[in-house]
Structure 1
Amino acid sequence: MSMSNSLKKLSSCVLLDLDGTLINTDGVVGDILRKYLCKYGKQWDGRETLKIVGKTPLEAATTIVEDYGLPCGVDEFNSEFYPLFSAQMDKIKSLPGASRLIRHLKCHGVPMALASNSSRANIESKIAHHKGWKECFSVIVGRDEVSKGKPAPDIFLEAAKRLNKDPADCLVIEDSVPGVMAGKAAGTKVIAVPSLPKQTHLYTSADEVINSLLDIRPEEWGLPPFQDWIENTLPIDPWHIGGPVIKGFGRGSKVLGIPTANLSTKDYASELVEHPSGVYFGWAGLPTRGVYKMVMSIGWNPFFDNKEKTIEPWLLHDFTEDFYGEELRLIIVGYIRPEANFTSLESLVAKIHEDREVAERALDLPLYSKFKGDTYLTE
């Protein structure tokens, strides 16, 4: 869903949204609302998330109070909610690729501004828990510093003004539809990174829609390129998951000819939220059999239109028998590409085998091969 390179406007500065773009605020908000609504006999099921993403705190609170029919006013809700939220700010994690992008732009002297629908004080409180972030931004603009919040353009216009830049020279990075609308109304170019799954169809006004910040290509916007891709792979901070192998959808071997060793996702809800859908690779350990190279997908597999986000590892070894129920340990060490849809089963299978080749080559590199000996895989 990206524009051709020839049409992309060269940018000299970057205006970044905060909540949902750089940090996973929604996760903490959801946890608090689940507990908070219980006292009113209500259950937070996330159905209002789409309505409140990108909105001002007042607008979000109004939506929750009205849609859940709470017996309290918006002011009372906020007076109870925000102390709970403030106490949890240190638990709001940065989204994958956020720190990498911020450090990269700062290192290359690209001016950056934070431009958020949150208040200035709220913004500064949040980024205080992310070491080095505040020093990277030349400008911070909050909702309380302009006349109107997003989707009005005021916040981005003010950010460009303080950077002494023409909005046409600015690149906005946003996760919400109101944010994208604000960026376009301000006359900037906009990259959308939707924070909610299966919502890309709502972002038609964005100049580009990407799956996560791991997929941003600054050079396409006239900015310095990343230099950390190695053999078509991106090193990531290793993470571990494990559990008994379960039966999947019955399509791996039968439909694709690719036997996946599926894991239950019920114990890995937080990991599924933290890690964008896409194709990853690493090492797989079966304590009674050995350690093997592995490539895996995380996501909804658009071709099959999964209803839930899944984890589907492919152990790159020819096994002579099934091993359902056996304990499987995974160390994920790198990223290959975002999740994608395909026009045919044949093109999907071809891409999966291409991913396998990329993973197999990469895992021979010392950067990745050193994790083969991790005791987590065999203990």
Structure 2
Amino acid sequence: MRIATTMPLRKLISCVVLDLDGTLLNTDGIVSEVLKAFLGKYGKPWDGRVAQRIVGKTPIEAAAAIVEDCELPCTVDELISELNPMFSDQWCNIKPLPGASRLIKHFNGHGVPMALASNSPRASIEAKISYQPGWKESFSVIIGSDEVKMGKPSPELFLEAAKRLNSKPSCCLVIEDSLPGITAGKAAGMEVVAVPSLPKQSHLYTLADEVINSLFDLQPERWGLPPFQDWVEGILPIEPWYIGGPVIKGFGRGSKVLGIPTANLSTEGCSKILSEYTSGVYFGWAGLSTRGVYKTVMSIGWNPYFNNTEKTIEPWLLHDFDEDFYGEELRLTIVGYIRPEANFSSLESLIDKIQEDRRIAEKALDLPLFTKYKKDPYLSISLQNNEHHS
């Protein structure tokens, strides 16, 4: 079980109101792929600044922003009618964001009433969640922006959700990723937890009552709701996920400072994983093509201390190496989560935290729950029958 927080109880909550796109479902990647292909027909690039402008908007507002910013020779209605079939074909490929299914299952299992309130039309919401087993029946209320006069940032969606839940707005906890959604939740008189979908922009979410890095980091007990019981000795087991590729940096300058061999994988080869997983510190097993299988801690994110401009994957191999391993094939099986990415005032405090992460991971990976993954065929397929090491 997770160590109890020392933070005070904020307010007793009886219902949870959830946003969908960017909060529960990783729709950003699908939206970018569709719009990139569509705009290519007009010789227009898909700009990340446009992507930020449409986060949390209704379809009409988002389409208007795209037509304006990209100077398209079509009307908003024409753009929507052309894009809708393209999006519908891709809803089956959307994956839940890390922690989304766990959260829904947890609240549903404890009888906490949940509403799904999205700026998408009701039919679109139904279509998206139909590919996620158990989701639809877990919500007491599902409401889209086409069922109210005004979508977010108007509070109308959330107020209607509270009404259908037979709850006072003040007893509802909103979980949102976008600024329009957070504005709407506070205007409705609700408590709001923000899970920012815009990278490195959490300073913009000051209106929220709490800002968390990912749904893994939600502590329901702070709101008088049943706590998660799946933390084991300070770590969270997760469904295994897999990364592989050549090491573009291995056992470099950082390794000598940390006293832990570090590796960097190509962001190009891991772009899909980078888009699907929130930043944070994870752990698991690492297989090096000519050496063996080792315990590993892995950082995924922007590394606030070094102010990286791109999201990166940096595994730390928990083993003594005397030489670098540039160019070697590295395969990772990630099985647990430790903590969110954090800011550190000094390099010394960062190193201290990484060493603490190391101790947590080494202890956790000795548990039977995780040792079984050391023999994962994915790790050993390229080891050329070398003897494995721990």
Q: Fold-level match, TM-score > 0.5?
A: yes
User: Partner amino acid for 1:166?
Assistant: K
Question: What residue in structure 2 maps to residue 144 of structure 1?
Answer: 146
User: Partner amino acid for 2:216?
Assistant: L
Question: What residue in structure 2 maps to residue 177 of structure 1?
Answer: 179
Question: What residue in structure 1 maps to residue 315 of structure 2?
Answer: 313
Cα distance between partner residues in 2 of 1:327 and 1:4: 43
**SS of equivalent to 1:48:** helix
After TM superposition, give the deviation of residue 45 of structure 1 in Å. 2.7
**SS of equivalent to 2:48:** coil
Unaligned ranges ≥5, structure 2: 382-390
Cα distance between partner residues in 2 of 1:7 and 1:224: 13
Deviations 1:56-84 (A, max 9, x none): 00000000000000001111101100011
Cα distance between partner residues in 2 of 1:175 and 1:93: 16
Cα distance between partner residues in 2 of 1:207 and 1:249: 42
The answer to whether residue 364 in structure 2 is matched with residue 362 in structure 1 is: yes
RMSD: 1.4
Cα distance between partner residues in 1 of 2:178 and 2:170: 20
After TM superposition, give the deviation of residue 254 of structure 1 in Å. 4.8
How many residues align? The count is 377
Cα distance between partner residues in 2 of 1:170 and 1:88: 32
The answer to whether residue 45 in structure 2 is matched with residue 43 in structure 1 is: yes
**Alignment equivalent of 2:79, drawn from 60, 71, 77:** 77
User: Partner amino acid for 1:307?
Assistant: T
Cα distance between partner residues in 2 of 1:124 and 1:378: 42
Cα distance between partner residues in 1 of 2:251 and 2:175: 36
Cα distance between partner residues in 2 of 1:284 and 1:224: 35
After TM superposition, give the deviation of residue 378 of structure 1 in Å. 1.7
Question: What residue in structure 1 maps to residue 388 of structure 2?
Answer: none
**Alignment equivalent of 1:291, drawn from 286, 290, 293:** 293
Question: What residue in structure 1 maps to residue 248 of structure 2?
Answer: 246
Unaligned ranges ≥5, structure 1: none
**Alignment equivalent of 1:264, drawn from 239, 263, 266:** 266
Cα distance between partner residues in 1 of 2:327 and 2:149: 59
Cα distance between partner residues in 2 of 1:7 and 1:229: 20
Deviations 1:341-368 (A, max 9, x none): 0111111111000000000000000110
Question: What residue in structure 2 maps to residue 279 of structure 1?
Answer: 281
**SS of equivalent to 2:225:** coil
User: Partner amino acid for 2:229?
Assistant: Q
Cα distance between partner residues in 2 of 1:314 and 1:61: 43
Question: What residue in structure 2 maps to residue 323 of structure 1?
Answer: 325
User: Partner amino acid for 1:56?
Assistant: T
Question: What residue in structure 2 maps to residue 19 of structure 1?
Answer: 21
User: Partner amino acid for 1:352?
Assistant: I
Question: What residue in structure 1 maps to residue 336 of structure 2?
Answer: 334
Cα distance between partner residues in 1 of 2:271 and 2:132: 23
User: Partner amino acid for 2:108?
Assistant: K
Greater alpha carbon shift after TM alignment, 142-151 vs 244-253: 244-253
After TM superposition, give the deviation of residue 256 of structure 1 in Å. 3.8
Cα distance between partner residues in 2 of 1:80 and 1:14: 35
After TM superposition, give the deviation of residue 6 of structure 1 in Å. 2.9
Question: What residue in structure 2 maps to residue 164 of structure 1?
Answer: 166
- Taking only the aligned residue pairs, the percentage that are identical comes to 72
Greater alpha carbon shift after TM alignment, 45-54 vs 16-25: 45-54
User: Partner amino acid for 1:199?
Assistant: Q
After TM superposition, give the deviation of residue 272 of structure 1 in Å. 0.3
Cα distance between partner residues in 2 of 1:378 and 1:256: 27
Cα distance between partner residues in 1 of 2:6 and 2:323: 47
**Alignment equivalent of 1:227, drawn from 229, 246, 271:** 229
User: Partner amino acid for 1:344?
Assistant: S
**Alignment equivalent of 1:190, drawn from 188, 192, 197:** 192
Runs of 4+ in 1 over 4 A off after TM superposition: 248-251
Cα distance between partner residues in 1 of 2:245 and 2:91: 31
The answer to whether residue 239 in structure 2 is matched with residue 237 in structure 1 is: yes
Cα distance between partner residues in 2 of 1:251 and 1:207: 40
User: Partner amino acid for 1:156?
Assistant: F
